[in-house]
Amino acid sequence: MSTDHIHSTARPLKIGWATRDITPQEPVGIPGQFHLRVAMGVLDPVTLTALAIENGKDTVIFLSADLVVARNFLIDQIRTRVVAADPAVPADKILLNVTHTHTGPGYYSNQDMFGTVPGEECSWPGMVAVCDANDMRDFLAQQAADAVLEAWHSRAPGGVAWGYGFAVAGHSRRVVYFDDVSRRPGLGGRPGVAVNGHGVMYGNTDDDQFSHYEAGADSFVNLLYTFDPAGKLTGALINVACPAQNNEQEWQLSASFWHDVRMALKAKYGNIHILPQSAAAGDLAPRQLHFKAAELRRYQLKYGGLMTQWAEKMTFPEAWFPTPENRKTQSAVLALEMARRYDIAERIVSAFDEVLIWARRDIRLKLDIRHAVTVIQLDKRRITPEEYVRERDELAALKLEPFRTGGDAYADMIHNSVLASRINRCRMILNRYEIQDAEPRMPMELHVIQIGNIAFVSNRFELFMDYMHRIQARSPFEQTFVVQLAATPGMDGGTYLATERAAANKGYSASLYDNLISPAGGQQLVEETVRILKELF
């Protein structure tokens, strides 16, 4: 398909960048697990980056943050602050995404790990001292607004170049078995956590009934570079199909492998800006599950004494692993995650270098920009009457389980936060059942952006990979960047959007607790996205 018409309305580009360190210095809650963690230090900085690109006719302001999810009106607060400071900034054109690090600062209630029914939040006693989540959200919103304003006000003539390379970062994390594991003793799932079937997230592959991984991997690294008028590299947007969740068991703040990518690229190219995006990777993770012995040998030979150093610097409450042997084992697990993230960063940097060599031969100083922002409605995943009855009974049983007090503060917090999370998730199922007939669909803010011959499309979900491929395969643009875990206005954000085959296999990430939207709603997302892509083209 010819793209010659795209150049006919090209206008000179102006580009601006800004970066902020958003690492809190006080103890802060760390979301990402069923139990609450409280930061016991900083492994490496967490950051926020803004990139403004405009051509006098339309604008996109990319914003990326080292956070696990965008929710609790964060994007609303950012836009409000931006407009209050400078009404001329097109705040509706801000596209915020998060990297899904599981060691970023929490900015929503520590009692509200997975969302609650308003007025029915399950709180627990014995909290470890932690900074107020509202204060953290105010800090993040202000830092983000300041970054957007700096990027906007620093716009200057420049150019962009794009391309793609390859780096295996994410692997399928959903294991499928020949048998229905829910029929095995003790493997049916856990109330408030998951309902298993043929599929299990992070399932054991050394199993006689192991069949396959549910998905494959996407090794594409989509890149958009920016340059000044003299052709000097000023920054890059890097889009990789992998959540940044190495170190997800850590109790220190960390940007995961994106920190290592930033450091390596700045060492090579100077103080450039790096804006990371996660492509659709709801069913992927930065670890593989069956080549374990060979993987460990690889890292021991490759990194040598660094493995020991990493193990020694890992931090977590001793009450979580009460014996020296427990702590040694956990330290080794965390050191393995460090090796994995170094390897991933090395591959991303290699792809960056390779693509830059040839992409910069086609730097565009003038391009057409079109940025459509709309709200689409997606079909919810319905709760059946049988599921409602089961969850009602499970909730009643969970509410009889006692919270712990008087013991080790961290041990009590871990136990109590897990119990509260499970109670909240069961309550949400009952609430969803009660309102689903009156509210069968859920709104989502969708961004579809044309920059010359390429496009960007957003979604709020941990989107399973198949949906991305459906969009990219039908997109009329030569290269389409899919951006998952993008902010949408309002209280909610994130959640998995599973495929048809995943919903049939069940397991964590593809059960009633995890999926607000049905696979039919997922296909609606595909169709609406493709429709707008074709309109822009």
Residue 76 CB burial class (10 angstroms; 0-12, 13-18, ≥19): middle
**Mean of pLDDT values over 149-159:** 99
pLDDT of residue 110: 55
Please answer whether residues 405 and 128 qualify as being in contact, where contact means their C-beta atoms are separated by less than 8 angstroms: no
Rg (CA), the chain: 23
| Cβ-Cβ contacts under 8 Å for 62 (sequence gap 6 or more) | 50, 51, 52, 53, 95, 97, 237, 275, 277
Residues 464, 496: Cα–Cα separation, whole Å = 7
- pLDDT tens by residue, 203-223: 999 999 999 999 999 999 999
186 vs 353, residue with greater confidence:
353
Please answer whether residues 464 and 420 qualify as being in contact, where contact means their C-beta atoms are separated by less than 8 angstroms: no
**Mean of pLDDT values over 92-111:** 91
At residue 124, does pLDDT exceed 70?
no
- What helix, strand, coil percent values describe the chain, rounded to 5? 35, 25, 40
| Cβ-Cβ contacts under 8 Å for 139 (sequence gap 6 or more) | 22, 24, 107
Amino acid at 493: G
The separation between the first and the last C-alpha atoms of the chain, rounded to the nearest angstrom, is 11
pLDDT of residue 186: 87
Residues 326, 410: Cα–Cα separation, whole Å = 16
Distance of CA 508 to the CA centre of its chain: 16
- pLDDT tens by residue, 351-402: 999 999 999 999 999 999 999 999 999 999 999 999 999 999 999 999 999 9
Mean pLDDT (the chain, rounded)? 94
Kindly write down the DSSP assignment for every residue of 356-422, as one continuous string. Answer: HHHHGGG-BSEE-EEEEEEEEEEEB-PPPHHHHHHHHHHHHHHTTSPPP-SS-HHHHHHHHHHHHHH
Residue 2: pLDDT band (50, 70, 90) is very low
pTM here is: 0.95
In Å, what is the CA distance from 138 to each residue of 79, 129, 278, 289, 330? Answer: 13, 19, 25, 39, 34
pLDDT of residue 1: 42
Check the CA dihedral 148-154-156-158 and report its sign: negative
Residue 430: pLDDT band (50, 70, 90) is very high
Residue 490 CB burial class (10 angstroms; 0-12, 13-18, ≥19): middle
pLDDT of residue 4: 45
pLDDT of residue 157: 99
Residue 112: pLDDT band (50, 70, 90) is low
pLDDT of residue 314: 85
pLDDT above 70 as % of the chain: 95
Q: Closest Cα to residue 253, out of 125, 70, 65, 115?
A: 65
Q: Closest Cα to residue 20, out of 64, 61, 58?
A: 64
**Mean of pLDDT values over 515-528:** 99
DSSP code at position 101: -
For residues 470, 476, 479, 484, the Cα torsion angle rounded to the nearest 10 degrees is: -40
449 vs 7, residue with greater confidence:
449
Residue 8: pLDDT band (50, 70, 90) is low
